[in-house]
Chain A
Amino acid sequence: MLLIHCPHCREDREEEEFSYSGEAHIVRPVEPEALSDKEWGDYLFFRKNPRGIHHEMWYHGIGCRRYFYATRNTLSYEILETYMVGEKPQVIAAIDVAIDAHRDTPRGTL
Chain B
Amino acid sequence: MNQVNRLSAVEGTRTRIDGTVPINFTFNGKQLQGVAGDTLASALLANGVKVVGRSFKYSRPRGIVGHGAEEPNAIMQIGSGAATVPNLKATQVELYEGLEAASVNGWPSVNFDLMSISGWFGRLMPPGFYYKTFMYPAKLWMTYEHFIRKAAGLGSTPVQSDPDSYDKLNQHCDVLVVGAGPAGLVAAREAARAGARVIVADEQNEFGGSLLASTQTIDGQLAVDWVADLVAELNGFDNVQTLPRSTVFGYYDHNFLGILERRTDHLGISAAAGSRQRMHRVRAKQVILAAGAFERPLVFAHNDIPGVMQASSVSTYVNRYGVAPGSRLVLFTTNDNAYQTAIDWHRAGRQVVAIVDSRSQPKGDIVAAVKGLGIEVMAGHGVIEAQGGKRVKRALVARLNAQGADIVGPVETLACDLIACSGGWSPAIHLSSHTGAKPVWDDSIVGFRPGKSKQQERSVGACAGTYALSGCLDDGARAGAEAAKLAGHGDGKLYFPSAAVEEYKEQPQQALFLVPHSKKTSRAPSQFVDMQLDVSASGIELAVREGFESVEHIKRYTAMGFGTDQGKLGNINGMAILANALGQSIPETGTTIFRPSYTPTTFGAIAGRDIGELFDPERYTAMHRWHAEQGAEFEDVGQWKRPWYFPHVGESMHQAVNRECLAVRKSVGILDASTLGKIDIQGPDAAEFITRMYTNSYLKLALGKCRYGVMLKEDGMIFDDGVCACLGDNHYLMFTTTGGAAGVLAWLELWQQTEWPHLNVYFTSVTDHWTTATITGPNARKVLAKVCGDIELANDEFKFMDWRDGTVAGVAARIFRISFTGELTYEINVPAHYGRHIWEALIAAGEEFGITPYGTETMHVLRAEKGFIIVGQDTDGSMTPADMNMDWVVGKNKTFSFIGKRSLQRSDSVRENRKQLVGLKTIDANTVLPEGAQVVFDAKQAIPMSMQGHVTSSYYSANLGHSIALAVVKGGHSREGQIVHCPLADGRTIAAEIVSSVFYDPKGERQNVE
A3 touches B436 (CB 8 A): no
Mask, B715-748, CB within 8 Å of A = 1, is 1000000000000000000000000001001100
Which of A19, A28, A76 interacts with B454 by CB under 8 Å? A76
Add 18 more A-B contacts to A3-B255, A37-B906, A59-B746 (CB < 8 A). A1-B252, A1-B281, A2-B253, A3-B254, A3-B256, A21-B750, A28-B755, A37-B907, A41-B906, A44-B715, A45-B715, A65-B746, A65-B749, A66-B753, A67-B753, A77-B254, A79-B254, A86-B757
B714 beta carbon closer than 8 Å to chain A: yes
B123 beta carbon closer than 8 Å to chain A: no
Contacts of B901 in A (CB 8 A): 32-33
Contacts of B746 in A (CB 8 A): 19, 59, 61, 65
Contacts of A57 in B (CB 8 A): 754
Considering the complex, give the chain B residue whose CB is closest to the CB of A22: B750
B906 touches A67 (CB 8 A): no
Mask, B887-923, CB within 8 Å of A = 1, is 0000000000100011101110000000000000000
- Name A45-64 residues within 8 Å CB distance of B: 45, 57, 59, 61
Known contacts being A32-B902, A33-B902, A66-B753, is A1 close to B256, with CB within 8 Å? yes
Contacts of A76 in B (CB 8 A): 436, 454
| Nearest chain A CB to B343 CB, angstrom units | 47
Which of B454, B749, B902 interacts with A67 by CB under 8 Å? B749
A96 beta carbon closer than 8 Å to chain B: no
> Count the A-B residue pairs with Cβ separation under 8 angstroms: how many?
59
A110 beta carbon closer than 8 Å to chain B: no
Which of A1, A27, A67, A86 interacts with B253 by CB under 8 Å? A1
Q: How far is the CA of A22 from the CA of B817 in the complex (A)?
A: 40
Interface residue SS majority, chain B: helix
A93 beta carbon closer than 8 Å to chain B: no
26 pairs from A and B in contact (CB 8 Å cutoff): A1-B253, A1-B254, A1-B256, A1-B281, A2-B254, A21-B750, A28-B755, A32-B897, A32-B901, A32-B902, A33-B897, A33-B902, A33-B905, A35-B902, A40-B903, A44-B715, A61-B746, A65-B745, A65-B749, A66-B749, A66-B753, A67-B754, A77-B253, A77-B254, A79-B254, A86-B757
| Nearest chain B CB to A80 CB, angstrom units | 12
- Name A1-46 residues within 8 Å CB distance of B: 1-3, 19, 21, 27-28, 31-33, 35, 37, 40-41, 44-45
Contacts of A27 in B (CB 8 A): 755
| Nearest chain A CB to B896 CB, angstrom units | 10
A67 touches B750 (CB 8 A): yes
B754 touches A44 (CB 8 A): no
A101 beta carbon closer than 8 Å to chain B: no
Contacts of B254 in A (CB 8 A): 1-3, 77, 79
A91 beta carbon closer than 8 Å to chain B: no
Q: How far is the CA of A85 from the CA of B752 in the complex (A)?
A: 11
| Nearest chain B CB to A18 CB, angstrom units | 12
B754 touches A85 (CB 8 A): yes
Q: How far is the CA of A76 from the CA of B436 in the complex (A)?
A: 8
Which of A32, A35, A85 interacts with B753 by CB under 8 Å? A85
B897 touches A85 (CB 8 A): no
Q: How far is the CA of A35 from the CA of B754 in the complex (A)?
A: 21
Contacts of B478 in A (CB 8 A): none
Q: Which 6 A-B pairs have the closest CB atoms?
A: A32-B902, A3-B254, A1-B256, A32-B897, A67-B753, A77-B253
Q: How far is the CA of A57 from the CA of B750 in the complex (A)?
A: 10
- Name B209-263 residues within 8 Å CB distance of A: 252-256
Contacts of A85 in B (CB 8 A): 753-754, 757
Known contacts being A40-B903, A41-B906, A76-B454, is A31 close to B897, with CB within 8 Å? yes
Q: How far is the CA of A36 from the CA of B527 in the complex (A)?
A: 68
How many residues of chain A have a CB within 8 Å of chain B? 27
How many residues of chain B have a CB within 8 Å of chain A? 27
Q: How far is the CA of A99 from the CA of B373 in the complex (A)?
A: 75
Spell out A's residues near B (CB within 8 Å).
1-3, 19, 21, 27-28, 31-33, 35, 37, 40-41, 44-45, 57, 59, 61, 65-67, 76-77, 79, 85-86
Q: How far is the CA of A59 from the CA of B754 in the complex (A)?
A: 11
Q: How far is the CA of A65 from the CA of B753 in the complex (A)?
A: 10
Q: How far is the CA of A27 from the CA of B714 in the complex (A)?
A: 13
| Nearest chain B CB to A35 CB, angstrom units | 7
B283 beta carbon closer than 8 Å to chain A: yes
For A3, A27, A28, which residue has the most chain B Cβ atoms within 10 angstroms? A28
Q: How far is the CA of A57 from the CA of B746 in the complex (A)?
A: 13
| Nearest chain B CB to A21 CB, angstrom units | 7
Contacts of A3 in B (CB 8 A): 254-256, 283
Considering the complex, give the chain A residue whose CB is closest to the CB of B909: A37
A44 touches B753 (CB 8 A): no
Contacts of A28 in B (CB 8 A): 714, 755
| Nearest chain A CB to B835 CB, angstrom units | 26
Mask, B866-903, CB within 8 Å of A = 1, is 00000000000000000000000000000001000111
Q: How far is the CA of A41 from the CA of B906 in the complex (A)?
A: 9
Contacts of B754 in A (CB 8 A): 57, 67, 85
Q: How far is the CA of A61 from the CA of B454 in the complex (A)?
A: 29
Q: How far is the CA of A86 from the CA of B754 in the complex (A)?
A: 8
A40 touches B454 (CB 8 A): no
Contacts of B902 in A (CB 8 A): 32-33, 35, 40
Q: How far is the CA of A41 from the CA of B283 in the complex (A)?
A: 42
Contacts of B905 in A (CB 8 A): 33
For B256, B754, B907, which residue has the most chain A Cβ atoms within 10 angstroms? B754
A59 touches B252 (CB 8 A): no
Contacts of B745 in A (CB 8 A): 65
| Nearest chain A CB to B766 CB, angstrom units | 14
| Nearest chain B CB to A8 CB, angstrom units | 10
Considering the complex, give the chain B residue whose CB is closest to the CB of A27: B755
Q: How far is the CA of A40 from the CA of B905 in the complex (A)?
A: 11
| Nearest chain A CB to B462 CB, angstrom units | 27
| Nearest chain B CB to A1 CB, angstrom units | 4
Q: How far is the CA of A64 from the CA of B471 in the complex (A)?
A: 50
| Nearest chain B CB to A19 CB, angstrom units | 8
Q: How far is the CA of A35 from the CA of B254 in the complex (A)?
A: 43
| Nearest chain B CB to A91 CB, angstrom units | 17
Q: How far is the CA of A69 from the CA of B755 in the complex (A)?
A: 13
Contacts of A19 in B (CB 8 A): 746
Q: How far is the CA of A32 from the CA of B252 in the complex (A)?
A: 43
Contacts of A21 in B (CB 8 A): 750
Q: How far is the CA of A37 from the CA of B901 in the complex (A)?
A: 13
Considering the complex, give the chain B residue whose CB is closest to the CB of A85: B754
Contacts of A77 in B (CB 8 A): 253-254
- Name B791-812 residues within 8 Å CB distance of A: none
Considering the complex, give the chain B residue whose CB is closest to the CB of A45: B715
Q: How far is the CA of A19 from the CA of B253 in the complex (A)?
A: 16
Q: How far is the CA of A3 from the CA of B172 in the complex (A)?
A: 12
Considering the complex, give the chain B residue whose CB is closest to the CB of A43: B714
Contacts of B714 in A (CB 8 A): 28, 44
Q: How far is the CA of A65 from the CA of B750 in the complex (A)?
A: 10
| Nearest chain A CB to B892 CB, angstrom units | 12
Q: How far is the CA of A67 from the CA of B752 in the complex (A)?
A: 10
| Nearest chain A CB to B655 CB, angstrom units | 43
Q: How far is the CA of A33 from the CA of B904 in the complex (A)?
A: 11
Contacts of A31 in B (CB 8 A): 897
Mask, B61-98, CB within 8 Å of A = 1, is 00000000000000000000000000000000000000
Considering the complex, give the chain B residue whose CB is closest to the CB of A66: B753
Considering the complex, give the chain A residue whose CB is closest to the CB of B763: A65
For B254, B755, B907, which residue has the most chain A Cβ atoms within 10 angstroms? B254
Q: How far is the CA of A1 from the CA of B714 in the complex (A)?
A: 31
Q: How far is the CA of A19 from the CA of B901 in the complex (A)?
A: 26
Contacts of B753 in A (CB 8 A): 66-67, 85
| Nearest chain B CB to A51 CB, angstrom units | 14
